[in-house]
Every structure is written in structure tokens, then in C-alpha cells.
A = this chain, B = another copy of it.
């Protein structure tokens, strides 16, 4: 009879081999979005469907259930935060979810996701929601089917949310985001009503692509993205993807007439990438080598993009280099004006280009709409109108086209329902982590030489990175998101740190009371 350890080792070997297949799927997805010729789309969908089916077969093999049953209640499973305990806990959780899904549904979801993204890529530039609608309808039908197969505690949407924020409930997310909204809406109103406005025209001057790429690479590298174990490429809808323990690829897009798009996008994806690169490589393919949740992942990208990258000390360090990189655009622009411009707050149409304050309103709109879609209370045909209404009511603006409205995000085309909420959770986690890092590393309360802002102003990002590595990255999935936040900050997730951060930054800039 095999020992407990032998069974555990078999379980881990099996998961690692499944992850090998998953990493291949990641490469195919990355290639599809960055490089693949359009004409190859249908065959790529078949390749990915085949892999998804094979992965599902492996994830639902009966011997997994047998191994997990043997390990249940044993010494290795006892402490859920030990290496073995966390591994068994996650693998059991995954197995129990996967066996509820028929393989045919998994394959159909994959195929529809790939074809959906391809359809979206054509629909958006052509402002063709109608042409895209049938695939979206099919996707939503399949997602409902998925949720029903998986089961849920309160609402069907819970089952989908769980894929991205494990163990989280829709009602709890709604509660936290509701609390945020209640303070955010008046804050945004206060900012927009004030008399001050930055001159954002400087961000729309000519920024040559080659200079943007060189500058973005240099900064990403300096904050800690390791190009020896990664790449930066161009795509329409930027993302970060790891296809191995030493192969993390980030993407961006360049707009000669808008500095923010590529630069803050690169910082954002580099933040995701630094997390991926900080996960323990030896554990790749096992829970301790994987990110906790999409919300925690997003906290890392937001932290580098906004809390670091949109801070004054950051630009005290990098602005001279930026002026050298873009002499025609920035040569005669004072640092303070530039800093104000990259912190422009305004009601705008495009989520990924929204400022830190209004961003969460974009998320709330999507979070609410997708709950309606999954609950079958909103039909796809009525979605553009519902979208436009929400933008009117939350941000006071109306999209002039679906391309800049309901078609702007890739997520729904890819079957990513339940994902958007994690963006706002990420902002909340980021604020709470960053406040703690500031305190641990001698920030606001520290000496002028040793605080985080002083470090940033000197171009030193290694201490913050080391803190994140230690507290978050190298933990993998040892703890749940809720437990991790408590461990690191001593408090449950709350919206106060984000509001404090926004007030602290925008108060002086916009002259708020």
C-alpha cells in the first residue's frame, strides 16, 4: 500500500504535467493575440479546443479523486496553510469543480471563446455589435450552463466569479464595491466641479513609437520586470501571460498621440509580470506556484501603474529621462504640469484609459450588467442601450458608438464573465497593501531619507519589490485572498485605504477642501 507521501507525490506530478499542457495553451493564446495571421483563426480554435479537452480529461481522471480521498484527513492535509495542506486543498477544490463540467461544455466554451475573440477583433473597428451579438449570445448561454453545472451558494453569477476570485460571493463584492461607490461618487463630483484642470494636451503631442518602446522597456526593467525571463510585445488588447516558470510575456499598444496608453499600460502589465516572475519557479504548475486570485493579481499591476507610476516621486526620478526621450513633446513642460496631466480626472468613455478615481465606476457598470446578463434579466439585443444608460447615469456621458461603448473590452467575447469585479478588488487590495508597505518600509511616518517616496525619487524600487515578493509573490496560493490581506495588513479588505489614497493625491492637485 502506497504511503501518504507517495500518493501526494503522484498527485503533484500529475498536476505538473497538466500544467505543462496548460502552459502550451497559454503560448497558443498569446501567439493568437500577438502574432498569428488572421486566416489561421479557425484552426487555432481547434488546436486550443483539443488542448482544453485534454486538460479537462486529465483534471477529471478518477484516480485524482482516489488520491485526494486517501489524503483527506491525513497528516499532510491537516494544516491548510502548510505547503502540503495548501496544495491538497487547492487541488481538491479544483478537482471537485472540474468533475462537475462535461468535457463537451469545456470544449465548446474554449472554441467559442477563441472564435468570439476573433469576431470581436473584427466587430470593434467596424462598430458592428449586431454582427458580434450571435457569438455573445452563445457565450452567455454557455456560461449560464457552466454556472448551473458548477452550482452556487446564492446566485448563478457566484459560480462564475469563483473562477477568478476563489471563494468570493457576489453579494460580498457588491457590498464592498457599494461602500466604495458611496464615497467615490461624491469625491469624483467634487473633483469635477472644482475649477482646476490639468493641460492634458501635452500628453497628445507626438510620441514616436520607437522612443515610447525604449522608454517603456527601460522603466519596466528598472521597476523589476526581468526581460531575461520575459518579453514585451504589441497587441490590440494588452495582457500578461506566463507560459512557463521563466517565460512571462507582457504586451502593450502604442499610440503616437497619447502618451498614457503604452506607458501606463506597460507599467500595469509589468506589475502583473513582476508578480508572475516572483512566484516560486520550483512550484510552477502547483498551487504554491500560482497567483492567489485575479483580484490579488490586479493589485500588483495597479500598485505599480498607479500608486507608484502616477506618483510625484516616481516622476521626480524618471521625468528627466522622459524629457530626453521625448524632447519635442516634453522639453518645455515643467514636471508639475506633466504630473498633473497624468493625473487628470474626468468622466471618459474608455475603461483602460480611465483615471484612478473614475475607473471603478467603469467597473461597477460592467459588474452590474453582467449579473443581469447571466441572470437572464437582460437580453444581448438590449445590451448596448443598457450600457449607454449606465454611462449616462454613472458618468454623465453617452458613448457615440458601440466601438467606444459596449464593444470596447475583449472580456465578454472571451467568455470572461465574473472577471471585471476583480479589477476594482485589485484597486482596493493595492491601496491596502501599499499603505502597509509604506508603513513597513518607513513611509509616511518614516524619515525623509528612508520612506518609500524618497526611495522612488532616487529611482530605488528594489525595497518595495522585495517587500511584495516576501509578503505576496513567493506565497503563491498558500493563503486565500482574504487571509493574505489579513496576514499582510492585519485587517480585512476595506475601502478606506483607497479613498484615503485618492483624497491624499487628488486633494492637493484639485484643491479640494
Contact = CB atoms under 8 A, between A and B. Distances in A.
A42 to B, nearest CB: 8
Output the residue of A24, A50, A229, A230 with the most chain B CB within 10 A.
A24
B244 A44 contact: yes
A35 B44 CA distance: 19
A17 B247 contact: no
Contacts of A23: 43, 47
A254 to B, nearest CB: 17
Interface string A254-290: 0000000000000000000000000000001000000
A20 B38 contact: no
Given A39-B228, A228-B37, A17 B246 contact: no
Given A27-B27, A27-B28, A247 B46 contact: no
Contacts of A313: none
- Copies of the protein in its oligomer: 2
Given A27-B31, A28-B27, A20 B40 contact: no
A246 B27 contact: no
A51 interface: yes
Contacts of A229: 37, 39-40
A261 B358 CA distance: 53
Interface residues of A, number: 32
B231 A37 contact: yes
B28 A24 contact: yes
Interface in A1-56: 17, 20-21, 23-24, 27-28, 31, 35-40, 43-44, 46-47, 50-51, 54
A479 interface: no
A453 interface: no
A326 interface: no
A227 interface: yes
B230 A17 contact: no
Contacts of A50: 17, 20-21, 24
A245 interface: yes
A21 B244 CA distance: 19
A236 B109 CA distance: 38
A33 B54 CA distance: 26
A492 to B, nearest CB: 37
A484 to B, nearest CB: 27
A285 to B, nearest CB: 10
Contacts of A28: 24, 27
Contacts of A245: 43
- Residue picked from A27, A31, A46, A227, most chain B C-beta under 10 Å: A27
Given A17-B50, A20-B46, A20-B47, A247 B27 contact: no
Contacts of A47: 20, 23-24, 27, 244
B24 A247 contact: no
A441 B243 CA distance: 50
- Which of A43, A50, A227, A230: most chain B Cβ within 10 A? A43
Nearest to A247: B40
Contacts of A17: 50
A20 B54 CA distance: 12
Interface in A366-401: none
A24 B44 CA distance: 9
Contacts of A243: 40
A227 B231 CA distance: 24
A43 B244 contact: yes
Contacts of A27: 27-28, 31, 47
Nearest to A49: B20
Given A17-B50, A27-B47, A38-B228, 18 more contacts: A20-B47, A20-B50, A23-B43, A24-B47, A24-B50, A27-B27, A27-B28, A27-B31, A35-B231, A37-B229, A37-B246, A39-B229, A40-B229, A40-B243, A43-B244, A43-B247, A43-B284, A44-B247
11 contacts: A24-B24, A24-B47, A24-B50, A27-B28, A27-B31, A35-B231, A37-B229, A37-B231, A39-B229, A40-B247, A54-B54
8 shortest interchain CB distances as A-B pairs? A40-B247, A43-B244, A39-B246, A39-B229, A40-B246, A40-B244, A20-B50, A24-B47
